[in-house]
Structure 1
Amino acid sequence: MKRRSIPLALLAASLPPAWATAPSGHPKTRPAARKAAPERFYRDHPAAMAFADDLAQRRGLDTGWVREQIGRARRLDAAIRGVTPPPAGVPKNWAAYRARFIEPVRLAAGQRFWLDNRATLARAEAEFGVPASLIVGVIGVETLYGRHTGTHKVMDAITTLAFDFPAVHPRAAARTAFFRDELEQLLSLCQRGGIDPHSLLGSFAGAMGWPQFMPSSWVKYAIDFDGDGRIDLFDSPADVIGSVANYFKTFGWQSAMPTHYPVRFDPARLDLDTLLAPDILPSFSVENFLANGAVVDGEALQHPGKLALIELQNAGAPSSYVAGTDNFYVVTRYNWSSYYAMAVIELGEAVKAALQR
């Protein structure tokens, strides 16, 4: 199928009513009621109102409408808690993180999703070069195949993080700028499409749909993969599959390249500090990788690109390590975490292996 380039206005108009629908599920038992803190609206936030005026002027939007939408947004404390870094000294635990996603419920749901969408996954793999297993892994980790797309008001979440991002975060200034850009994208999209921004539901950070795309990702990477003339990341598995594949391809996914290789160490030559210095960015030729005490075998010795030593800490136990490729780095562009990337990769591979038994 030939993919269409959909103008922003048409994309906005095509977004489905399901944007305003909360995911189904069993009700959770609520804790004992506590006295609610007074609601804080952003109409009383000078910087937010100044931003609204500037946005309206730059984007050619109705000033009153923009001020009303931002002004109606409420401070969402859950968003602030969600992006606040854990206290210093809290160890990361890959084994515990992995167990959250590589588990029976998600594996069974992944198999059903793959079987139900086998032809579409094969078509996406053929067109974009992105393995079906990776697409399945992403959707499973993000929302358990559409079961948990989020119940927070996107407008509240993004506005909160645009103007009250926690200062304790080491990248607070950059993240504030990011969320202000997302707020601009969201409002521009909604006004042109006649959508009430306050009807949209998503994660505590404002991500939406089965693949948890932020507003800018809807604009840049979402595609109509089922050919019905609109983009629907809430109710069209085909659009979800095609959009995830398009995301990775746009960020430089290389067909047939592994995401990582097994690695071990030669204690006599090991310079762990040097190997870990670039973090997840592939920076070492195979020759330099070996010279610093990393040991790889088989096809990894013929790897044409560069490698990174990926460390996955296991709390008090020894860390796990892999040699990450450029494709591993591409997976981290979806979520800037090596733990996330490995969970996505391993979930997809586990689902594939279960289907082949």
Structure 2
Amino acid sequence: MRRLLPTALLSSILVLLGATLPLLPAAAQTQKAVRGETLYATREDAMRFADDVAERRNLDRTWVRTTIGNARLLPNVPRLMLPAPRGTAKNWRVYRSRFIDAARIGAGVRFWRANADTLARAEAEFGVPAEIIVGIVGVETIYGRNMGNFRVIDALATLSFDFPQGHPRAAERQAFFRGELESFLSTESRTAENPMVPVGSYAGAMGMPQFMPSSIAKYAIDYDGDGRIDLVNSTADVIGSVANYFKAFGWTPGMPSVYPVAFDEARLRKDVLLAPDIRPTFSADAFVAGGAVLEGEALEHKGLLALIELQNGADPPSYVAGTQNFYVITRYNWSSYYAMSVLDLGREVRAAMEQ
């Protein structure tokens, strides 16, 4: 992602340049598609969207049209958004193995040691444990090693105007990506830099924590005090922004994310316990009344719980009792498998730190 300049400083720069908004360099404005590429300048729907965004956001119309117009259709990206075919078995052990290995744990130890003071400061200020932040950055990008190489403008334009209509939630998801494209344009208009430069994932997520543009606008913070937000090069900004994100979504300091759970088969109503999916719904008493078996501090839990099922292919599923903090982790990525990987990686890194 691009470094954001303070508003007052950017205004001064633009006044000195005699401009109201940064325009693309001439070379970018005259960019032409090479054989086999499609630029969105040729698409009426994309240009209508550009005009609408410019008017609603009070942005320079030529700049917005030029930026979107120079975005390229990425033919492979729509296919990457399609869900797995029906009947594809989920497997927690396989999923976990993609994120919990010696190389990633070792990288996590180095990241934690290099940023120990900042992680401790964020934990004290936001209440989010260091191991959660370490788990997120490790799962997302292996601590900055893999931040994506898709041009963000290309990815967002492709998903805004060519989202696969075979997706079961195509209209909803396409609207989401149009909102992200709009947020990206709004942010980039304040950087005085070339919006064709930022790279990220095929979905348009950026930096070490893989924030989407709207998350950058809402939750990213300048945590190193240099007057700019940089989620690519500033580990302090990354740590502070991830902690701020979790606090904004209701992270409760000191609350466990999961508890062990077993079942009393004689009175188990697993269908009832699983019905709300990962959203905490049951008090500890109601959870136990449904046939769940909790022990120790779990029985004294004051908040709500959810039964989290992690399928293991042909083998029996694994289960945990998820708290509100587990649910908060899924606000980063709507997946119980993802949330458990974040927790497990953080724990493994902490354990390695203590050896």
Task: Give TM-score scaled by structure 2 length.
Answer: 0.90
Greater shift in the superposed pair: 44-53 or 281-290: 44-53
Determine what percentage of the aligned residue pairs are the same residue: 62
Q: Would you say the 8 A contact 1:49–1:67 is kept in 2?
A: yes
Q: Measure the CA separation in 1 of the matches of 2:264 and 2:192.
A: 62
Q: Counterparts of 1:338-353 in structure 2 under 5 Å? A: 338-353=336-351
Name the counterpart of 2:187: 189
Q: Determine the structure 1 residue equivalent to 2:215.
A: 217
Deviation at 1:7, TM superposition (A): 6.2
2:295 counterpart of 1:269 = no
Please show how residues 91-110 of structure 1 align to structure 2 within 5 Å.
Answer: 91-110=89-108
Change beyond 3 A, Cα 1:176–1:9: farther
Q: Secondary structure at the match of 1:254?
A: coil
Aligned match of 1:26: none
Relative to structure 1, is the Cα distance of residues 47 and 316 closer, same or farther in structure 2, using a 3 angstrom cutoff? same
- The DSSP-based 3-state class of the residue aligned with 2:327 is helix
Structure-2 change in CA distance of 1:296 and 1:159 (3 Å): same
Distance of aligned partners of 1:143 and 1:292 in 2 relative to their CA distance in 1, 3 Å threshold: same
SS of the equivalent of 1:168 reads coil
CA distance in 1, matches of 2:141, 2:230: 15
CA contact (8 A) 1:12 1:193 kept: no
Instruction: For 2:35 and 2:62, locate their aligned partners in 1 and report how far apart those are by CA, in whole Å.
Output: 28
CA spacing shift, 1:306–1:40, aligned 2, 3 Å: same
Note the 1:1-357 alignment, pairs <5 A.
38-357=36-355
Inter-partner Cα distance in structure 1 for 2:236 and 2:123: 12
Give 2:318's aligned amino acid.
S
* Length-normalised TM-score, structure 1: 0.89
How far the C-alpha of 1:356 sits from its partner, in A, is 1.0
Which one is further off, 167-176 or 137-146?
A: 167-176
| Aligned-residue offset at 1:169 | 1.8
Deviation at 1:192, TM superposition (A): 2.3
Unaligned runs of 5+ in 1: 1-5, 15-35
Question: Which stretch shows the higher mean deviation, 300-309 or 72-81?
Answer: 72-81
Residue type of the partner of 1:329?
A: Y
CA distance in 2, matches of 1:236, 1:333: 23
Q: Which runs of 5+ in 2 are unaligned?
A: 14-33
RMSD: 2.0
User: Shift of residue 268 of structure 1?
Assistant: 0.7
The one-letter amino acid paired with 1:349 is R
Aligned to 2:19: none
One-letter identity of the residue aligned with 2:340: M
Structure 2 letter corresponding to 1:83: M
- 1:164 Cα deviation from its structure 2 partner: 1.2
Q: How much does 1:82 deviate?
A: 2.0
Q: Which runs of 4+ in 1 moved over 6 A?
A: 6-14
Aligned length: 332
Which amino acid letter does the alignment assign opposite residue 222 of structure 2? D
Cα distance in 1, alignment partners of residues 10 and 236 from structure 2: 16
8 A contact 1:12–1:190 mirrored in 2: no
Residue deviations 1:299-323, cap 9 Å, x none?
0000000000001111111111100
Q: CA deviation at 1:224?
A: 1.0
CA gap 1:346/1:11 in 2 versus in 1, 3 angstroms = farther
- Does structure 1 conserve the Cα–Cα contact (< 8 Å) formed by 2:137 and 2:143? yes
